[in-house]
Amino acid sequence: MTEPLFDIAVAMASFFAGLLGALIGLGGGIIITPLLVLCFGIDIRYAMGAALCSVIATSSGAAAAYLRDGISNMRIGMFLCIATTIGAVCGALLAVVMNPSVLAVIFGVALLVTVLLSLKKKSGALVEPEGSDPLAKSLRLPDEMPVAGMQVPYGVANVIPGFIVMWVAGVLSGLLGIGSGAFKVLAMDQIMRLPFKVTTATSNFMIGVTAAASVGIYLKKGYLDPSLVAPVALGVLAGAFAGARLLTVAPVKLLRIIFLVAVSIIAVQMIARGLGVSIG
């Protein structure tokens, strides 16, 4: 296969990954890397570099919509970005000294955990503004969100535990070249008990900033091959936009089940690849 054909194939796979990511609520990054490694035989380090760039692209592209809606909580996002960016730097420094086979195994495990997290029911239990963590109050984290034309206030719980889990999410982002949105949502939704809409919008803002903290290290280590980043980033970006449009008409529930099964199989194959076993 010549390079133009190869790039078209990569761009199409990336489009699919971005579309899927938008439809089932996983980031494109965590789907595209296994695709590049398993289907295209690309070295995992180049795949991670390209995926990380595509994560930044989609986060920046989608942030606009979220910001305009006024549901993302910028104060929470910025405060937690201290944890995720420092985590991402640690993760990236770890990634560049780690054996690629070990990375593949960790990647597969993280992918499985992501699937489990996205199957988990959203916790409905919110906290009242008055019942917020005192630290949240002094940081002015509680805010309000628009619900059916009214401004409804919400509280914020467990700031320190949330901050720590965010650091871990940052480490995973830098280590694996993913946005680690599922882990960020875990911290904000389950631990800090924020409303789900606020969580997803804020997480999207944070993903790009987090990814930007490790991309410099990837660049210096030669993980960014422009001729691979280009088709991947363009494909994922286009797929994410298409996915956001399709979200209202697609049979999302059915797609979710089908694709979560598919992603689990990919995860197992990634682990097998890392362990040097070949299956399927």
Nearest alpha carbon to residue 114 among 175, 191, 190, 186: 186
Query: Which residues sit at the interface with other proteins, rule CB under 8 A?
Result: 1-4, 6-7, 40-43, 45-46, 53, 56-57, 59-61, 63-65, 67-68, 70, 74-75, 78-79, 81-82, 85-86, 88-89, 92-93, 100, 139-140, 205, 208-209, 211-217, 219-231, 233-234, 237
Residue 81 or 182 with smaller CB distance to other proteins: 81
CB of 93 to other proteins, least distance (A): 7
**Given phi > 0 = left and psi -120 to 50 = alpha, else beta, which region is 42?**
beta
CB of 223 to other proteins, least distance (A): 8
CB of 224 to other proteins, least distance (A): 6
Tell me the β-bridge partners of 143. Answer: 154
Residue 115 or 207 with smaller CB distance to other proteins: 207
Tell me the β-bridge partners of 145. Answer: 152
CB of 261 to other proteins, least distance (A): 29
Residue 159 or 228 with smaller CB distance to other proteins: 228
Residue 30 or 37 with smaller CB distance to other proteins: 37
Q: How far apart are CA 154 and CA 144, in angstroms?
A: 6
Q: How far apart are CA 46 and CA 158, in angstroms?
A: 37
Q: How far apart are CA 242 and CA 240, in angstroms?
A: 5
Residue 46 or 183 with smaller CB distance to other proteins: 46
Pure H helices in 96-225: 100-119, 134-138, 159-176, 181-185, 196-220
